[in-house]
Structure 1
């Protein structure tokens, strides 16, 4: 199935023999890390097996939000919002960012109680958020049928364009001296004296002193070949893009049966709250114990299924030599078939409840694989057993908005600068040091 149309980035023809840092993965996390490093005068090569931003970084909802996040992410998301606010000017390119505000409807008493906590939480970060009543909700969404008594409105939240953002940041990193290498899969890392000394790519070797793995849904497989245990699974989510709609709302909404946000082209991204499909694959059994807390907490929002993906991943090489073709070269872009059922329901309910969408036409539908960690909090961490190796993955559907902040934190860790936020919650070792794995329900 054809995915979203991403702004193309032409990769460099020349591959450097040596850099300070190699970043693996050209999604929002990888390009943000590369930009931060390049701006600090660090020589960096970003290697992407396919094209920049062609997987989940261009397939997500496009939300840039601090509300309804896991509390462990909030400080980093506050940093990310500060970056987003000046990002277009900083890089000289358009990411589509707009601080439009996001509304979370109080669908029941439980949601209302959770919503009511956020104004106080965000006041600690000098960000405004408040509860609104039914009449004020109707003022933001005139003509919409609803039975909400209240909702959470956070003006600091916003949106950006996933098909533009990662490419724009990658080009800005190149402006600052970064090498951007597309269709250049990294096959593995090399070490000397017990620490990172380089990488081997399908196009040859690059010597370096540090490597950042920001490979999204591919990260666990890459780490496994390097002898590193990284618990991670994938969740598939489907998105609808509509044709432009005259007079549609500016504010993003998370409602009972649907969620939507306005796009820069005047159309809307529409999604279902229930469309989180978990394919049963061999890794499901490999990481089962690590993910039990998530299953107990979030099983109502997940749809489990067995499909051909089980055999596909079962046949996939788990180990390989540096001179062998890897799974990353055999599959340049994860482009799963969209799921129609829940998105069709979401659109039908939206048309019924909100007359402005009555004539909405689907322009495109796509799906993507979200990289999920056992506690739904990312790994942004050095690998203690391999000095010079760092991992940034497992963003669990929250990566797009937090991406610029994650890139800054990772650059801090790589260069040894004081971290912009406390990275303790994001350490890889939490999954193995006896720490309690806790899932704090969010969106």
Structure 2
């Protein structure tokens, strides 16, 4: 995140942090006004790229953006000499997700339905500073950032099955974050129906770092040219965003 923001700033982006958006309103000329706890902003075109907070932002506009915040959590060991030279993943979750029927009321490819675990999910590797970092749980708990110790241990146990070395290393730190999951598993990228000069980019689920840069470019190109790239057809917001 820091690297992305620094690169954007170097190209002229003006990034403001700590702004709690209170109100969004469209003016008669089609421009937008954004009111935060620290000031007021105006723009000809507004792009909503608020990730797991898409639904409450949609509420400000009277629309339903069907994004569920999913908590992911990670853990890391103390730095150790180079031991893992590739990103590691497990096919267990992919197999389970492919064999399960669609679940009404739950996004796809999560590890829990409510408090019930339906699969284990694993990914991770070793960072440049020597930490071994893994994670995988994806759970719908609202905006609760607290870490689930049991989930961390389940994930650590799975990592130990793949890399026995991990079982001998104590966990030095844990953290969690929110990911934006759509109900059909597809991103939501494009023009918001029913509004002028309003666009959205959300629903990248757990792969925001991987897909985010190109998704941002595709949306920027759409805004500047008024023509969406063909690859955005299945991401059309009109398929799922509705007025309340």
TM-score with structure 1 length normalisation?
A: 0.45
User: Which of residues 247, 261, 284 is equivalent to 2:125?
Assistant: 261
What is residue 63 of structure 2 aligned with on the other side? 228
Equivalent of 1:205, from 40, 55, 78? 40
TM superposition shift of 1:422: 2.5
**Aligned-partner SS, 2:189:** strand
User: CA 1:207–1:351 in 2, change beyond 3 Å: closer, same or farther?
Assistant: closer
- Is the Cα–Cα contact under 8 Å of residues 335 and 367 in structure 1 kept in the other structure? no
Deviation at residue 420 of structure 1 after TM alignment: 5.2
Q: Does 1:238 align with 2:47?
A: no
Contact 2:156 2:167 (8 Å CA) reproduced = no
Q: What is the distance in 1 between the residues matched to 2:185 and 2:11?
A: 33
Deviation (angstroms), 1:199: 1.7
* Pairwise CA distance, 1:384: 2.4
Deviation (angstroms), 1:418 = 5.2
Aligned ranges for residues 9-408 of structure 1 at < 5 Å? 166-193=1-28, 195-255=30-90, 256=92, 258-272=122-136, 275-279=137-141, 336-351=145-160, 353-408=162-217
1:335 and 1:222 mapped to 2: Cα distance? 18
The number of residue pairs the alignment matches comes to: 213
SS of residue in 2 equivalent to 1:370 = strand
Paired residue secondary structure (2:168): coil
- After the TM superposition, which parts of structure 1 deviate over 4 Å for at least 4 consecutive aligned residues? 417-421
- Where do 5+ consecutive residues of structure 2 fail to align? 93-119
Deviation at 1:409, TM superposition (A): 0.9
Contact 1:408 1:420 in 2 (8 A): no
Structure 1, unpaired ranges of 5+: 1-165, 280-308, 310-333, 434-443
Q: Structure 1: how far apart are the matches of 2:17 and 2:155?
A: 36
Larger-gyration structure (1/2): 1
How many angstroms apart in 1 are the aligned matches of 2:232 and 2:56?
24
CA distance in 2 between partners of 1:353 and 1:224 (Å): 44
Deviation at 1:389, TM superposition (A): 0.8
1:127 is aligned to: none
Alignment CA distance shift 1:354-1:201 (3 Å): closer
**TM-score (norm: length of structure 2):** 0.78
Greater fraction strand: 2
Contact 1:214 1:393 in 2 (8 A): yes
Give the C-alpha shift of residue 417 in structure 1.
5.9
